[in-house]
């Protein structure tokens, strides 16, 4: 009797599929970056590949391609020598799923969102902004993209951004998040990042820790706290325990505040780390910086 797969199994399988795919995309991405550097971005996509291998198997896929100012539905022809995802990346588009994608997003747009995220805008907000911008420009109903089964501006957009960032950082470690101006006090809130994805957000306005991924609240695992009484003195042990670090906090300066909610906070932190890590070990590379 078939049983429904656990959410963790689905996440782990998806992560493994993405990582296998990324190993095949470095070459096409390197070619695209070399040829597009310093040039205007083209919104034209070559819908067919030129394969000169006699008897090579061909396939086709109907897809929605999301550019910065519009989206379009196209029929893409690919072949065994140049599989669909490789053809997409070679032409400047990144798929939203690792196999048989029906939506792809401009990598130039993902780079723009990456820079926007560095400046403080969440990835989820970037996807929603793109959808609103399409509608503002009078584009057709965005609910028809991908047959209306999925909203590519939320889950699909975050997946494409996440795995495109992993691929870019794999090829160039300097692509990772960098913070130019870091407020060294927690008065405006604290942001904890894991591999470029917002994991925890302590905001003064909301007065809560929100378990998030890419800046979008999950709707669960929210722990209400009082920032004034937040047990900052417990943070060093938590960070050390999970091999995290705080970027920008002065060395030797203790965390202010009092209170004791260590166990609850630790459980939330641990659960979210495992959810985001998927089939991997709990990440060793993390960033924790105060918001500006």
Residue 137: pLDDT band by 50, 70, 90 thresholds? low
According to the per-residue pLDDT averaged within each range, which of 43-52, 96-105, 129-138, 236-245 is highest? Answer: 96-105
Neighbour tally for 199: CB within 10 Å: 25
Answer with the residue of higher pLDDT: 176 or 162.
162
Per-residue pLDDT at 103: 92
Is 263:157 a contact under the CB 8 Å cutoff?
Answer: no
Tokens of 216: 């979008």
Q: Which residue has the tokens 């034209």?
A: 44
pLDDT at 187 over 80: no
β-strands 58-66, 103-106: how paired?
Answer: parallel
Between 214 and 156, the more confident residue is: 156
Query: Residue 159 above 50 pLDDT?
Result: yes
Higher pLDDT, 64 or 165: 64
Considering the chain, what is the average pLDDT of its residues? 62
**What is each CA distance from 127 to 45, 104, 106, 136, 215, in whole angstroms?**
21, 13, 12, 14, 11
Contact (CB, 8 A) for 150 and 260: no
* CA-to-CA dists, residue 282 to 87, 163, 164, 214, 254, angstroms: 33, 17, 20, 17, 26
Q: What is the CA radius of gyration of the chain?
A: 21
CB atoms within 10 A of CB 194: 21
Write out the two tokens for 161: 């951004």
pLDDT beyond 60 at 288: no
């Amino acid at each position: 009797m078939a049983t429904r797969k656990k959410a963790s199994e689905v996440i782990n399988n998806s992560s493994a599929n993405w990582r296998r795919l990324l190993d095949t995309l470095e070459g096409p991405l390197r070619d695209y970056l070399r040829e597009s550097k310093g040039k205007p971005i083209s919104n034209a996509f070559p819908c067919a590949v030129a394969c000169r291998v006699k008897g090579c198997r061909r396939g086709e896929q109907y897809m929605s391609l999301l550019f910065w100012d519009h989206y379009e539905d196209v029929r893409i022809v690919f072949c065994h020598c140049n599989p669909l995802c490789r053809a997409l990346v070679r032409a400047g588009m990144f798929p939203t799923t690792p196999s048989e994608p029906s939506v792809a997003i401009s990598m130039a747009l993902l780079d723009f969102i990456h820079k926007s995220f560095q400046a403080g805008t969440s990835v989820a907000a970037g996807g929603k902004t793109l959808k609103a911008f399409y509608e503002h420009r009078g584009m057709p109903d965005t609910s028809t993209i991908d047959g209306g089964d999925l909203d590519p501006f939320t889950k699909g957009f975050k997946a494409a951004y996440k795995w495109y960032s992993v691929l870019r950082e794999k090829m160039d470690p300097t692509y990772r998040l960098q913070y130019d101006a870091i407020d060294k006090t927690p008065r405006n809130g604290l942001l904890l990042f894991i591999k470029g994805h917002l994991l925890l957000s302590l905001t003064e306005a909301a007065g809560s820790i929100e378990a998030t991924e890419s800046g979008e609240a999950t709707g669960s695992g929210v722990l209400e706290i009082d920032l004034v009484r937040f047990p900052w003195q417990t943070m060093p042990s938590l960070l050390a325990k999970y091999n995290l670090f705080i970027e920008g906090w002065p060395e030797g300066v203790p965390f202010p505040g009092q209170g004791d909610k260590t166990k609850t906070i630790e459980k939330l932190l641990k659960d979210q780390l495992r959810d985001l890590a998927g089939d991997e070990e709990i990440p060793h590379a993390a960033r924790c910086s105060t918001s500006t």
